[in-house]
Structure 1
Amino acid sequence: PTYTNAFDLEYLKRWEKVTLTTSAYYNYSTGVFQFITLETGDFVEIENPDDPDNPVFVPIQVRTPINLATDTRYGMEFTTIYVPKRNWRFTLNFNVFNQQLRGDYTYTNSQEEEITQVFDADNLAWFTRFSAKIPLPGKVDFQANLFYRGPTENAQSLNKGILSTNLAFSKDVIKDKATLSLNVSDLFNSRKRRSETRTDNVFTYSEFQWRERQITLSFLYRFNQKKNQRNGNRRGNGNGEDFEFEGS
């Protein structure tokens, strides 16, 4: 387990159409979970297309999770909610924090060599969310959700920024007994983890994507149930922006 001491000071202010929330926070965690890349000391032989008589020997690496480090974070968060009129709602959230990772790891490779790696890293990280919910002509409800996480860096890897955009349209039909919905998940097909990792002998670029862009059309019909008794069945989209990637 990871243990965290967390302190937060928050300020909330409401106006007629605007709500503003700000907070400052400090977290100190021990035994923080991290993915690290280790060179095993072994090599694999692969074919050299430019010179078939001279193969290339590539170091074998292992990527593994460990409870590596202590993590000190302090930052600020801002959230603004704007409701200009009934059934209209805009929400903007911005979070920025400084992260200090401290930890080292010792292991023995296949050559019986004891290797100690230092994984100290200082990083300024940030992410933002924006959502909008508005009615369109023809009694169509529209919702958009956008999430962007800025690039992050640790002792071995640089993780590039990630953008995710979801859209949803819905309309009640058949005298409000049914709802027709169209959802678009990851509109720009950009919800990918792209990272660069460097060890003593190897530079690696990797790209990982949970799922490509999805478009879903659904039809919901309510038997013996009024519109206001649906208990939130109509959702903006089926995939939230709070996704997690290995080692993030």
Structure 2
Amino acid sequence: MTLSDARNFFSGNPDLNPEYTDAFELGHIKYMDKGSIFSTVYYRDTKDKIERIRSVDAEGNSTTLPENLIGEKSMGFEFTTDYIPVEWWKLDANFNLFYAKIDGSNVLDTYTADTYSWFTRLTSRFTFANGLDLQVRGNYEGRRKVAQGVQKATAFMDLSASKDIMKGRGTLIFNVLDVFNSRRNRYIFEGPGFTTVGDVFPRKRQINLTLNYRIKQSKAQTKSDLMGGE
């Protein structure tokens, strides 16, 4: 259990059941000279969906812990593409639009939601002849409803750069996570006798400088991992 302050408690739940999802997808991929396009439609039925639920007692003390809801049914469309305009520049994009129906009526009758939302990610990679690589990644997650209220939209950007040194045996990698300090957890939760408006900043901008020296590990694998590649 974590004590945030004298009136807010956060706890685990040893009585949780695992959530299980039946997923059905139909996809199509098209290859082109300079890239590819992958699109898919999907339907997912999750039983015992786990979601954090907040309750407030008569004295105003708040307790937040994960609970099993009845489930969530969702359907949507996902689009992923990679494109190489020129030899030294690669673009990757992902877009997901979905509808979800959440049923938490086992906890409280009003803890149900129907929501439309979307998220997207765009990554731009630049590779130069002198062993210097640059990567910029932008992320956006749209507003969506949850069992107890609304999870507001968020947007953030990460930046990475790497340079081969020591005759290619070493790589110097510089990362800036959340460049604009914009990755915030903003929400409005409602329950019997309370409304909570949250604006949580869990982690400020992080700046990392890493030196990696390879003995047997492959260069491509190491650089991709440290720069946040997939």
Listed one character per residue, the Cα deviations across residues 46-101 of structure 1 (whole Å, up to 9, x for unaligned) are xxxxxxxxxxxxx3332221111221101000011102233432111000110001
TM alignment of 1:118-197, pairs within 5 A: 118-136=110-128, 138-197=130-189
- SS in structure 2 of the partner of residue 83 of structure 1: strand
The 3 A distance-change label for structure 1 pair 60 and 229 is closer
Residues 52-71 of structure 1 correspond to what in structure 2 (within 5 A)? 59-71=60-72
Q: Provide closer, same or farther for how the CA distance between residues 238 and 206 of structure 1 changes in structure 2, counting only shifts above 3 A.
A: farther
Q: Which ranges of 4 or more aligned residues in structure 1 deviate by more than 6 Å?
A: none
Count of equivalent residues: 213
The partner residue of 1:3 within 20, 36, 44 is 20
Query: Contact (CA 8 Å) 1:171, 1:181: kept in 2 or not?
Result: yes
Larger radius of gyration: 1
Cα contact 2:173–2:227 (8 A) shared by 1: no
TM-score (norm 1): 0.76
Aligned to 1:230: 219
The gaps in structure 2 that reach 5 residues or longer are 1-17
Given that 1:184 and 1:237 are in contact with CA atoms closer than 8 Å, whether structure 2 keeps it comes out as no
Matched residue type, 1:17:
K
Q: Give the 3-state SS of the residue equivalent to 1:190 in structure 2.
A: coil
Percent identity for Structure 1 against Structure 2:
31
Q: Would you say the 8 A contact 2:161–2:227 is kept in 1? A: no
Question: Counterpart in 2 of 1:113?
Answer: none
Q: 1:171 to 1:68 in 2, by over 3 A?
A: same
Q: Which moved more, 1:2-11 or 1:172-181?
A: 172-181
- CA distance in structure 2 between the partners assigned to 1:238 and 1:136 by the alignment: 16
- Matches of 1:94 and 1:229, distance apart in 2: 31
